[in-house]
Amino acid sequence: MPTTPNLLLTHVEEGQQSREVTINEALDGLDVAMFRGAGPFDIGFFVPGVAPTTSLIWKWVFTRASTFLNEFAGSKGHLETAPSSPITLDIQRNSVSIGSLVFTTAVGVFSTAGGAATFAIGDTLELHTPANMQSAADLGFTFLGARA
């Protein structure tokens, strides 16, 4: 049976004692730290072809509380085939509109209604298409957020 080598912590705060921990214990501690508190939280997806009109085309159910800046700052949207005229996709939280993703070219522009958007565990983030997709195709985008 393999043994795990030990790693001696060399940095300690004044008044604390050092102790030996295994590498696995140290990595476990990093894993816990990465999944607690604030940190980046990106959500990305791709819808191939021309999406159906007037439809819910994508839904995310949150497993951790998250927040997105006003205007979904830092988020990116792209179409492989640009629309023949502007289209607006509706962004919803729990089936209520909170913003939009507008395409006049192949690059989308995000907007929000009322500032930053916060989501609790169990909330949904949805994307709904307009009545006419204007031949826009192959939609991809990534929401840039943070764990709350």
What domains sit in the chain, N to C, each tagged with a CATH number? 1-36 (no CATH), 40-147 (2.60.120.260)
Contact between 45 and 141 (Cβ < 8 Å): yes
Residue 75: is it exposed, middle or buried by C-beta count within 10 angstroms (0-12/13-18/19+)?
A: buried
Q: What is the CA radius of gyration of the chain?
A: 22
Per-residue pLDDT of the chain (148 residues; tens, 9 = 90+): 455 555 444 444 555 555 555 666 655 554 444 445 578 889 999 999 999 999 999 999 999 999 999 999 999 999 999 999 999 999 999 999 999 999 999 999 998 887 899 999 999 999 999 999 999 999 999 999 999 8
Taking the C-alpha atoms of residue 37 and residue 121, their distance in angstroms, rounded to an integer, is 14
Taking the C-alpha atoms of residue 92 and residue 61, their distance in angstroms, rounded to an integer, is 12
From residue 49, how far is each of 31, 37, 55, 132 by CA, in Å? 38, 38, 14, 14
Q: Report residue 75: phi and psi, to 5°.
A: -75, 150
Q: What is the pLDDT of residues 77-110, one digit of tens each?
A: 999 999 999 999 999 999 999 999 999 999 999 9
